[in-house]
Structure 1
Amino acid sequence: MSDAAPATVLVYSSRSDVRTAVRTAVGRRPAADVGPLTWVECATGDEVVRTVDGGGVDLCILDGEAQPTGGLALARQITVEVADRPALCVLIARQPDRWLAHWSRADATLPFPVDPLTAPAVVADLLRDRVGRRPVRR
């Protein structure tokens, strides 16, 4: 059994099928040294803001195509407003939109539809980085 720390991953999309696709592609344990994951689903931008403000989220995966509040705008907002923010990954439907992900200050992107071979590796890398910079709590 691994001693990997559990992680909380928020997945945001206004579409439940997108949230399900992300959870299914990544799974409960994206790598042997990461997880297990606890998934938190949000269907609105307000839910994302409240959940992140409440703390305990290690990674947000945000749908860039969500309506009415897109994941790119939420990533930018979280970066600006949250001091110890979670890692941020945005789903983009078109590769030319990577510049928007850069503008949003997201840490990574995932193409949509989500590739079950790539997504776990991206999530694992983001969580490894997050755990490495997490402040020690005493």
Structure 2
Amino acid sequence: MSDLVRSQDAAVATTKATAKVMIYSDDRATRDEVRMTVGRRPGKGAPTIEWFEAATEFGIEDLLEKETFDLLIFDGEASKVGGMGLAKQLKDEVEACPPVLLLIARPQDEWLGRWSQAEEMTTFPINPRDIQQKVTKLLMGANAR
């Protein structure tokens, strides 16, 4: 039993201490909901999250020039520039683009999420367990790189 605990502790110790995550939505309430639902540490073994927020396409460009992110969370329903199109553009144009978690309004929009090359999708209203598990999975995968 103690060996199992030690090996789990070792795995946790090898993960990155802090992950940089950007949330993009033109709606402040959506950004707040995602941030509050995911929390500072979404799951066991996951790094502590340092949150960055963008409300516009230009805000995303500025942040991407200044920071290296471990995960991008995009609102697929954002107005003017939607998260789906933005994810597709970044995946096509940015070398070593971080993983993208896409927030979609309806399960039927999942095909658009696949088109955008997002690694994961979750629907509104936000399911806390679902988004925490997906954020943890994507961050743990990012730490393996």
Q: Normalising by the residue count of structure 2, what TM-score does the alignment of the two structures yield?
A: 0.87
The answer for the alignment partner of 2:6 in structure 1 is: none
Kept in 2: contact 1:53–1:82 (CA 8 A)? no
Q: What is the count of residue pairs matched by the alignment?
A: 133
Q: Which moved more, 1:1-10 or 1:33-42?
A: 1-10
Which of the residues 15, 31, 42 maps onto 1:30?
A: 42
**Percent same amino acid at aligned positions?**
36
Q: How many angstroms does 1:130 deviate by? A: 1.1
Letter in 2 for 1:102: R
Structure 1, unpaired ranges of 5+: 134-138
Q: Structure 2 matches for 1:1-138, cutoff 5 A?
A: 3=13, 4-5=15-16, 6-133=18-145
- Partner SS state of residue 117, structure 1: helix
Distance 1:119 1:88 in 2: 12
Could you list the runs of 4 or more consecutive aligned residues of structure 1 that deviate by over 6 angstroms after TM superposition? none
- More helix by percentage: 2
Q: How many angstroms does 1:49 deviate by? A: 2.3
CA RMSD of aligned residues (A): 1.3
Letter in 1 for 2:116: S
Letter in 1 for 2:68: G
- Cα offsets for 1:88-122 (capped at 9, x unmatched): 11100101100000110000001112111111110
Distance 1:45 1:83 in 2: 18
Q: Which moved more, 1:43-52 or 1:7-16?
A: 43-52
Kept in 2: contact 1:7–1:127 (CA 8 A)? yes
Q: Rg bigger for which structure? A: 2
Q: Which moved more, 1:67-76 or 1:1-10?
A: 1-10
Structure 2, unpaired ranges of 5+: 1-8
Distance 2:65 2:89 in 1: 12
Kept in 2: contact 1:64–1:72 (CA 8 A)? yes
Distance 1:74 1:38 in 2: 22
The answer for the alignment partner of 2:4 in structure 1 is: none
